[in-house]
Amino acid sequence: MKSVEGENWWLEGLRVAEWYSFELMVDSYFPPPWNRTLQHWRPYCDLDWRRALVVFNRIFALGLEREVARALSTNFKKSLSIESICELAVVVDRANKLFHKVATTQSERKRRAKVISQAARILAEELHNPSCQSDIRLARYLLGREEDEPRRYPALAPARFEDLAAIAEKMVDLPKVVASPGTPNAHKLYFLRELTDYLVDTYGRPMRSLVLALAGLYFDVSDMTSNDLAQYARVNKKRRHGRLFSPYNFR
């Protein structure tokens, strides 16, 4: 009976969190008039409420609210604040979408870095020529005369492209995030590992059943058990949210 009551409590909590995310998302786009008699303070004001709302909408649209609420009640003996539930939803959304930003092979990264670095150094060398800078200023003037509403063009200082070349060369040293980005299950495995890392870092436990319930929002995990997940997403205490690629710090 207690488990059913706990599940119902979390189900109601998901509904409240969905509405709360919607309310704060609207406030972020259309701030209410400032009331001098009241000093409004919203905790977790740096959360991306739009991301949280997307996840809550997906939970209810797919009819998985009972399953997610059951997993939450199983893994959390004490209730979480609405803000903490929303933070979890934000991490879920980022863990899903971050894959497409980090799924690159080292060979592709090296090729891209080489192309950008070479192009930037060629541009920097040309821009060091005084006649080139003079031509650029004249061309800007002519463009401004042709346009009804003159726009501001970016500065073309050689130092900017030298900096770009240095940044591109540093790209080669970035760590490998996804072992085999082209494999069919790469996205799913990445999501499972990132969400597991978040739960371990934040709450001290991997919460396998909760990870599987949330993974079901995006992937087919019907044939996966908690034991399978323990093999695919091992707990690595050395990985913290301060690392380069993580739903924590990757916007």
pLDDT tens sequence across 203-232: 888 899 999 999 999 999 888 888 888 888
**Position 165 confidence tier, pLDDT thresholds 50, 70, 90:** very high
Q: How far apart are CA 73 and CA 173, in angstroms?
A: 43
Classify residue 163 by its DSSP letter.
H
User: What pLDDT band is residue 47 in, cutting at 50, 70 and 90?
Assistant: confident
Q: Is the pLDDT of residue 177 over 90?
A: no
- What pLDDT does 251 receive? 45
In this structure, the answer to whether residues 57 and 8 fall within a common structural domain is yes
Q: Does the pLDDT of residue 70 top 70, yes or no?
A: yes
The yes-or-no verdict on residue 27 having pLDDT over 70 is yes
**In the prediction, which pLDDT does 237 show?**
64
Q: In this structure, is residue 94 part of a structural domain? A: yes
Domain identity same for 29 and 111: no
Number of folded domains that form the chain: 2
Work out the percent of the chain whose per-residue pLDDT is above 70.
84
3-state secondary structure of 60: helix
d(CA 27, CA 86): 16
Q: What is the pLDDT of residues 80-128, one digit of tens each?
A: 888 899 999 999 999 898 888 888 888 888 999 999 999 999 999 999 9
In this structure, the answer to whether residues 127 and 209 fall within a common structural domain is no
Residue 37 has pLDDT above 50, yes or no: no
Phi, psi (5° rounding) for residue 235?
-80, 120
**Mean pLDDT score across all residues of the chain:** 82
pLDDT above 60: residue 39: no
Residue 173 predicted with pLDDT over 50:
yes
pLDDT at residue 213, as a whole number:
94
User: Is residue 97 within 8 Å of residue 91, measured between CB atoms?
Assistant: no
Maximum average pLDDT range among 58-72, 191-205, 226-240 = 58-72
Residue 81 domain-assigned (yes or no): yes
Residue 105 burial (10 A CB sphere; 0-12, 13-18, 19+)? middle
Same-domain status, 20 and 118: no
What is residue 43's predicted lDDT score, i.e. its pLDDT?
46
Answer yes or no: is pLDDT of 25 > 60. yes
Does 11 share its domain with 91? yes
Query: What confidence category does residue 8 fall into, taking pLDDT thresholds of 50, 70 and 90?
Result: confident
Q: Which of 26, 25, 73, 15 is nearest to 47 (CA)?
A: 25
For the segment 173-190, the average pLDDT, to the nearest whole number, is: 84
Coil, strand or helix at 94? helix
Cβ atoms of 101 and 250 within 8 Å: the answer is yes
The answer to whether residues 74 and 210 touch, using CB atoms and an 8 Å cutoff, is yes
Which alpha helices (DSSP H) does 150-185 contain, by range?
Answer: 158-170
Mean pLDDT of 125-143: 87
Rounded-to-integer distance, Cα 141 and Cα 224, Å? 64
For residue 3, the one-letter residue type is: S
Residues 93 and 189 in one domain: yes
- Please check whether residues 7 and 40 belong to one and the same domain: yes
